[in-house]
């Protein structure tokens, strides 16, 4: 086998013939392979359209051939090798003297848009690799045999056009919001570290949450969230019936100001986390009061710190025995025991057999926790009482929660690690909208 091979097309004959097997392998409808060259690091494929009559696009007069022009395009990799598609374009001249068009060449946006260095299919292949295969730009650049900047320049316009399409905000009935940190360097260099993310949590016809990222805006504040809501259409805001959030008053204010008809729901995960945090605070305080230092190996409370985070229904007999041993080791440990029981009661709100049972437990917590003699539990109770409406709204909204938002944040963290970090927030936003389903692609 030789490194260079000519296809069976008779390029210089009056009626050229083409190899249908080669055409099938390359897969470009309307084009035929006329040559293939395989180098050590590159596969070059030459293609042309079949000859035929061509009329002037302006006047319609049959044009005469003016030869060929060659256009080199980045194509999808093949057999583990980068591919360059050489499009041998036909050019024509218009014989009509009064026609303003003197000459023109083949144009085919399906093959490659004008002035693009890529084939159309290669650009969409790269988008698919980013979205479905968790690829990174550097990895795609290696596969395509081009630079990082060239790869991103081929992909970015597609993502930007999709991000600018307001139609992607249609059909949102449940809206989630949460924040995450997108960089860990100086804010003077890259701006605010926190981004507020809006997520569509609308359920489909089967009752499943589709969880797609709608947008990312800089900052963690009610102003950031409210500004984004204000920028949306009145139709969008009127369509949002449920808005989930963590217990951050800034987000709640933005919902109240911009989504007047929406029901705000405090996220179940964050409520349970508040209870677990209260237990940790009690354990640390008691530890300091008894031993005068932070937890160390051998300290009874320090030894059960992780067990205290688990749900009691998930504990093994051995873990239950360790808890009881630690609680009984000192009478002053009773505060930790009571705090743990309170956190388990808070957790049981979301594990009740019925909605009515869960609501009854939630209401009991709101009524009793604020008067608890343990300060950390009393503070937790006051927080929940302040959020009573949003806390109980969970039972009126088919158990709406921010779980889908947390899932989106997990995808974002995955791709930030794959990319080894981001320096440009606009590029970051487009990449995350793509991988988290926020673009209609």
Q: CB within 8 A of 369, min separation 6: which ones?
A: 342, 377, 378, 380, 381, 382, 384, 385
Burial of 197 (0-12, 13-18, 19+ CB in 10 A): buried
Burial 318-353 (b: 16+ CB within 10 A, else e): eeeebbeebbeeeeebebbbbbbebbbbbbbbbeee
β-sheet bridge partners, residue 31 = 49
Give pLDDT, residue 13: 45
Tell me how far apart the alpha carbons of residues 213 and 291 are, in angstroms, rounded to a whole number. Answer: 48
Give pLDDT, residue 59: 86
Tell me how far apart the alpha carbons of residues 387 and 385 are, in angstroms, rounded to a whole number. Answer: 5
Give pLDDT, residue 323: 95
Tell me how far apart the alpha carbons of residues 288 and 253 are, in angstroms, rounded to a whole number. Answer: 38
Assess if CATH 3.30.420.10 describes domain 167-267+401-435. yes
Tokens 């594990």, residue located: 351
Q: What is the pTM of this model?
A: 0.86
SS3 per residue for 268-307: HHHHHHHHHHHHHHHHHHHHHHHHCCCCCCCCHHHHCCCH
Tokens 């795609």, residue located: 140
- C-beta of residue 282 within 8 angstroms of C-beta of residue 374: yes
Nearest to 192 by CA among 221, 226, 213, 214: 221
Tell me how far apart the alpha carbons of residues 403 and 178 are, in angstroms, rounded to a whole number. Answer: 10
Tell me how far apart the alpha carbons of residues 336 and 284 are, in angstroms, rounded to a whole number. Answer: 9
The H-assigned helical ranges of 29-179 are 120-132, 137-144, 148-163
Low-confidence ranges of the chain (pLDDT < 50): 1-4, 7-13
SS3 per residue for 320-388: HHHHHHHHHCCHHHHHHHHHHHHHHHHHHHHHCCCHHHHHHHHHHHHHHHHHCCCHHHHHHHHHHHHCH
Give pLDDT, residue 265: 97
- C-beta of residue 95 within 8 angstroms of C-beta of residue 63: yes
Residues of the chain with CATH 3.30.420.10: 167-267+401-435
Structure tokens, 169: 């905000």
- C-beta of residue 5 within 8 angstroms of C-beta of residue 21: no
Give pLDDT, residue 15: 62
CB hemisphere CA count around 259 (13 angstroms):
29
β-sheet bridge partners, residue 68 = 90
- C-beta of residue 10 within 8 angstroms of C-beta of residue 44: no
């Amino acid at each position: 086998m030789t490194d260079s091979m000519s296809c069976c097309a008779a390029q210089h004959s009056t009626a050229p013939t083409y190899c249908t097997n080669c055409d099938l392998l390359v897969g470009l409808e309307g084009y035929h392979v006329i040559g293939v060259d395989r180098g050590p690091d590159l596969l070059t494929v030459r293609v042309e359209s079949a000859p035929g009559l061509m009329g002037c696009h302006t006047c319609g007069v049959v044009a005469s051939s003016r030869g060929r022009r060659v256009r080199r395009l980045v194509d999808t990799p093949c057999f583990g090798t980068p591919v360059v598609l050489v499009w041998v374009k036909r050019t024509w001249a218009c014989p009509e003297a009064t026609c303003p068009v003197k000459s023109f060449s083949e144009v085919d946006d399906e093959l490659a848009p004008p002035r693009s260095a890529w084939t159309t299919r290669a650009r969409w292949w790269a988008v698919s690799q980013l979205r479905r295969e968790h690829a990174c730009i550097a990895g795609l650049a290696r596969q395509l045999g081009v630079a990082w900047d060239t790869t991103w320049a081929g992909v970015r316009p597609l993502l930007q056009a999709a991000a600018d399409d307001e139609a992607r905000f249609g059909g949102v009935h449940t809206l989630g919001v949460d924040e995450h940190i997108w960089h860990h360097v100086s804010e003077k260099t890259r701006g605010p570290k926190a981004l507020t993310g809006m997520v569509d949590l609308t359920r489909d016809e089967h009752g499943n949450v589709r969880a797609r990222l709608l947008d990312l805006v800089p900052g963690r504040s009610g102003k950031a969230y409210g500004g984004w809501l204000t920028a949306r259409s009145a139709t969008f805001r009127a369509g949002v019936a449920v808005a989930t959030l963590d217990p951050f008053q800034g987000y709640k204010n933005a919902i109240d100001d911009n989504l007047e008809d929406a029901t705000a729901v405090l996220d179940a995960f964050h409520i349970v986390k508040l209870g677990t945090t209260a237990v940790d605070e009690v354990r640390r305080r008691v530890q300091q009061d008894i031993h005068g230092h932070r937890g160390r190996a051998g300290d009874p409370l320090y030894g059960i710190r992780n067990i205290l985070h688990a749900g009691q229904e998930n504990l093994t007999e051995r873990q239950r025995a360790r808890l009881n041993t630690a609680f009984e080791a000192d009478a002053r440990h009773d505060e930790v025991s009571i705090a743990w029981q309170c956190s388990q009661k808070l957790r049981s709100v979301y594990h009740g057999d019925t909605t009515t049972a869960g609501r009854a437990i939630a209401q009991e917590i709101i009524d009793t926790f604020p008067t608890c003699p343990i300060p950390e539990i009393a503070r937790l109770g006051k927080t929940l009482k302040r959020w009573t409406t949003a806390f109980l709204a969970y039972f009126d909204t088919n158990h709406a929660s921010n779980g889908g938002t947390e899932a989106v944040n997990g995808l974002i963290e995955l791709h930030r690690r794959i990319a080894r970090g981001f320096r440009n927030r606009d590029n970051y936003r487009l990449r995350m909208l793509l991988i988290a389903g926020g673009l209609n692609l």
